[in-house]
A and B are shown apart, each in its own frame.
Chain A
Amino acid sequence: MSGVWVYVENRDGAISAISREALGAARQVADGLGQPLTALVFGQGVGPVCAAAFDLGADAVVGADDATLADGRLEAHGPLVVKLAQERQPAVILIGASTRGRDLAAWTAADLDTGAVADAIDIKVEGGVVKATRPVYTGKLLCEAYVTGTPQVVTLRGRAFAQAASTGKTGTPEMVAAAVAEDAIPTKITGFEGKGGKISLTDAGKIVSGGRGVGGPEGFEPLRELADVLGAALGASRATVDAGWIPYEHQVGQTGKTVAPDLYIAAGISGAIQHQAGMRSSKVIVAINKDPDAPIFKLARYGIVGDLFKIVPALTAEFKKRLN
């Protein structure tokens, strides 16, 4: 049992942000264990991704280039990770905790009869064991989690680790065949609607988020304008989603997305405990609210008490001036 593996999620020839972070964290784990780091790059047309994985610090790359692997189906990627792990017996498998990564970790651990730890926000190596710090009880508590089986499967939460830096390293990937043929894969993807270049909340470095205070669907307009100027993603509280003012994919909080941007601007959000669960690890929180007693002010670094419909446009104007 030796070697640290990192699964490199990719789409359209590019490594996902969460996997760049995973590569950075995996390098540290590999160095901590004194073992080589192998990147797994599965997809279609993965040549550039394999090269990027070397550049981002992998000592070796195992690639698989096949049409069945193109759309990230769990039933194609899972069996290949499992097959390789059975043959080569790595000590650790690290995966970014995206929706795909989470499923892959669960699949891999089940098939290899080992444990999987989800959502590490910090990791260290102690006596050959990867010790992960992870939030539990929707971020109300933290715990130290580790796997006693082999391999140790751990997923890494997005935006919790620094992205791997370019090393200039090059190498030749070892290419392997897919583990399952198309007719043995039980799922077919018949439609896909990407985000069309929109910044996803979980990857976003900046988020502008609206709550009940926006008053209606059109109340998100000034927030959207501020988000556009900042290159930020648009978030929302549960109340606004439940009211049908904005689609569910924007919801931050307990039954929405968990985010950790550098900047979170909460406009008209009171900051219920369920909302806090989704955004409390943001680096700098700005609260704009009419009610000086709103709980969001207890969490925020900066606060303005006042009318968001005056303050947000003023912020947009000021940022426009400063950023151009």
Chain B
Amino acid sequence: MKVVVCVKQTPSTTATISVKDGAVSWEDPGGKPNVVNPWDEYAIEEAIRFKENRGASDAVALCMGDSSSEEALKTCLAMGCTEAVLVSDPALLGSDTLGTARTLAAAINKIGDVQVALFGRQAIDGDSGHTPVQVARVLGWTPLTYVSAIESVDGGSITVHRLTDDGKETVTAKLPVVISVVKEINEPRYPSFMGIRKASKAVIPNWSAGDIGASAAAARANWSNVYAVPPREGEIEMIAGDTVEEQARNLVNKLFEEKVI
């Protein structure tokens, strides 16, 4: 069996993001404007562990995006994924989460023999977190979201821990499954020197929509009027006092006045 990890290339977490005439662009002070979506790093690590410890034959990294997303896939290969596939087609630009889910599901079917598809819980640009469940619906697989640990995989079933707003749940499901992971699940490894060398030489297949039998559908969840968050109002007030006790008293007075206590 194979595992697939679906990744997205996003602006780096430190990027300054701006909007001009409705177009979003970003710059990074560190000079690396794009990264693998930070949540996906945990999914990549888990996919590699499936290959190392749970008998998966391949850990395939899958990304839908423009050609610059090859960079994200090379990071996956450098970390230890065995294969990478880019689905890139101008026709797919502007897909909403359901459109993206249909494309990824078609690619997963083409990869074949996949029992587990892994995702980060959400991407730090779109921030919906809808894609993993929607991929599961399109494939007819069981979604297991917010997974913080994989307890066991055996005899065609999987047991995981889910970290939800209510608490921690232990859930068993039959394979195949789509899993979205949270940070607690593991500590992602750094790419090895050998891995980076291998990845730099890798030729990553580029599938078009036609190659996987996907078609572009109009997005039904739409964005308009993107704008920067207005700066927080008001200036900071530094709380003074001759003693720490007086400072504390002055601050507590302010907080009562603000009616937040």
Contacts and interface: CB of A to CB of B under 8 A. Distances in A.
B261 A142 contact: no
Interface stretch (A21-29, A32-40, A59-67, A297-305): A297-305
Contact of A263 (B101, B165, B261): B261
Contacts of B221: 109, 115-117, 145-147
Interface in B113-158: 124-134, 137-138, 142-146, 148
A193 B183 contact: no
Nearest to B218: A148
Given A114-B220, A192-B167, A301 B236 contact: yes
A248 B183 contact: yes
A299 B248 contact: no
A148 to B, nearest CB: 5
B198 interface: no
A314 B247 contact: yes
A78 B127 CA distance: 21
A1 interface: no
Interface residues of A, number: 88
A136 B126 contact: yes
A269 to B, nearest CB: 15
Contacts of A202: 165
A324 interface: no
A249 B163 contact: yes
Contacts of B173: 186-188
Contacts of B11: 137
Contact of B130 (A11, A102, A111, A146): A102
Contact of A116 (B13, B39, B97, B252): B97
Nearest to A117: B221
B260 A283 contact: yes
Contacts of B249: 318
Most chain B C-beta atoms within 10 Å of own C-beta, residue among A72, A143, A146, A280:
A143
Given A116-B130, A273-B13, A99 B145 contact: yes
Most chain B C-beta atoms within 10 Å of own C-beta, residue among A135, A287, A303:
A303
B237 interface: yes
B21 interface: no
Contact of A143 (B129, B225, B251, B261): B225
A319 B256 CA distance: 10
Chain B contact residues, majority secondary structure: mixed
Contacts of A262: 260
Interface in B231-254: 232, 234, 236-239, 244-245, 247-249, 251-252, 254
Contacts of A144: 223-225
A302 B239 CA distance: 7
Interface in A219-268: 230, 248-249, 251, 254-256, 262-263
Contacts of A145: 221-224
Given A143-B224, A302-B237, A318-B252, A191 B169 contact: yes
B248 A314 contact: yes
Nearest to A187: B173
A92 interface: no
B39 A106 contact: no
A72 B145 CA distance: 13
A174 interface: no
A258 to B, nearest CB: 9
A15 interface: no
Contacts of B237: 301-303
B98 A115 contact: yes
B184 A248 contact: yes
Contact of A274 (B13, B138, B258): B13
22 contacts: A109-B98, A109-B134, A118-B127, A136-B127, A141-B24, A141-B229, A143-B225, A143-B226, A144-B223, A144-B224, A148-B218, A188-B172, A188-B173, A190-B170, A192-B166, A248-B148, A248-B182, A263-B261, A284-B260, A311-B248, A314-B244, A322-B252
Given A106-B134, A143-B227, 13 more contacts: A74-B143, A102-B130, A105-B130, A106-B128, A136-B126, A187-B171, A190-B171, A192-B166, A206-B261, A248-B163, A301-B234, A301-B237, A318-B252
